[in-house]
Amino acid sequence: QEYTGIKMEVVSWSDATKEIESKVGGRKVYLVAATLRPETMYGQTNCFVGTAIKYGVFAINDNEAFVCTYRAARNMTYQGIMAVRGQLHQLAEIEGKDIVGTKIKAPFSVYPEVHVLPMDNVLATKGTGVVTSVPSDSPDDYQTLMDLRKKAEYYKIDPSWAALEPIPVLSTPTYGEMTAPALVKQLKIQSQKDTKQLAEAKEIAYKEGFYNGTMIVGEFKGMSVQDAKQKVRDSMIAQDLAFAYAEPEGMVVSRSS
Ligand code: ZZB
């Protein structure tokens, strides 16, 4: 599984993670989100972590550090991402619930800065354990964002962190410019706990976006999603806003299986 690792630079830590700053040796710190949809990055409104997941802060070199699961960092040491092959240098450990509220940059997004929010369905065993959120095109992201808005207090978030509106990124003949909200409505999904319907919605959204989608924002506006996908990815990587991250064979656990 070839992901794109999106580098979301920390702008300001949440109250519960303020002490991290003293542990990173002046490095720039990035939350790293693994995505299969680099072409949708224009529509990021927030980022998700699992509240019960443990994350590490790992040095990449003298200047940069990544926040992700230990498992993902370990994999990265064999992919030329860290300075020394096979060697992991952990600077700190953080719990997902504490990262919530941190403000980070969202590269290529219409919204330059976004907040970290909690999601029930983040898997510690997939990608980096950090998920960037594109509510226009990901049913899971859209539904979770709606849940958070409805029950901000229950989820222990400041409502303003979930206030950014979904941005139309691509257009499809069947679902228009907001594929995810359209599918959530059509499949009568009520909350992020409706995991079966969400898996189905995700499948449909992937296919519809990939085979029939046209970009309606950004540098590749007017281009088919099939053609734009790699170009957006290459552009992000060339600007050092992203990198290739592969999940070793047999380690991929899909929410839909
Ligand atoms: C942004 C994005 C925009 C995504 C979209 C999807 C969609 P898959 O196919 O099951 O491998 N993801 C990544 N890591 C995790 C995790 N640890 N736990 C839960 N979800 C995770 O799914 C890959 C996608 O699942 C990734 O691509 C990421 O969300 C999420 F418009 O990144 B995506 C129709 C989907 N649309």
**ipTM of predicted complex:** 0.98
Domain count, the chain: 1
Task: Calculate mean pLDDT across residues 147-159.
Answer: 98
CA angle 148, 132, 26 (to 5 degrees): 110
Q: Is the CB of 125 under 6 A from ligand 1?
A: no
Per-residue pLDDT at 249 exceeds 80:
no
Q: Which domain holds residue 90?
A: 2-138+156-167+225-246
Q: Report yes or no on 213 lying in a domain.
A: no
CATH number at residue 32: 3.90.740.10
Per-residue pLDDT at 255 exceeds 70:
no
257 pLDDT band, cuts 50/70/90, is very low
Q: Is the CB of 40 under 6 A from ligand 1?
A: yes
Q: Is the CB of 138 under 6 A from ligand 1?
A: yes
Per-residue pLDDT at 256 exceeds 50:
no
- Closest Cα to atom 29 of ligand 1: 35
254 pLDDT band, cuts 50/70/90, is low
* In the chain, % of residues over pLDDT 70: 97
Q: Report yes or no on 217 lying in a domain.
A: no
Q: Is 56 helix (H, G, I), strand (E, B) or coil?
A: strand
Q: Which atom of ligand 1 is nearest to the CA of 139?
A: 34
Distances (CA, A) of 104 to 29, 33, 39, 134, 161: 10, 12, 19, 15, 11
Q: Report yes or no on 87 lying in a domain.
A: yes
Q: Report yes or no on 203 lying in a domain.
A: no
For residues 33, 223, 206, 183, the Cα torsion angle rounded to the nearest 10 degrees is 110
- Closest Cα to atom 2 of ligand 1: 37
Q: Is the CB of 49 under 6 A from ligand 1?
A: no
Q: Report yes or no on 106 lying in a domain.
A: yes
Give the pLDDT score at 184. Answer: 98
The model's pTM: 0.96
Q: Report yes or no on 232 lying in a domain.
A: yes
- Closest Cα to atom 20 of ligand 1: 122
248 pLDDT band, cuts 50/70/90, is confident
Q: Report yes or no on 235 lying in a domain.
A: yes
- Give distance in angstroms: CA of 125 to centre of ligand 1: 13
- Give distance in angstroms: CA of 25 to centre of ligand 1: 32
Q: Is the CB of 126 under 6 A from ligand 1?
A: yes
Give the tens place of pLDDT for each residue, 196-234.
999 999 999 999 999 999 999 999 999 999 999 999 999
Q: Report yes or no on 29 lying in a domain.
A: yes
Give the tens place of pLDDT for each residue, 108-147.
999 999 999 999 999 999 999 999 999 999 999 999 999 9
One DSSP character per residue, 101-112 reads T-EEE-TT-SSS
Decide: 216 and 171 in contact? Cβ < 8 Å: yes
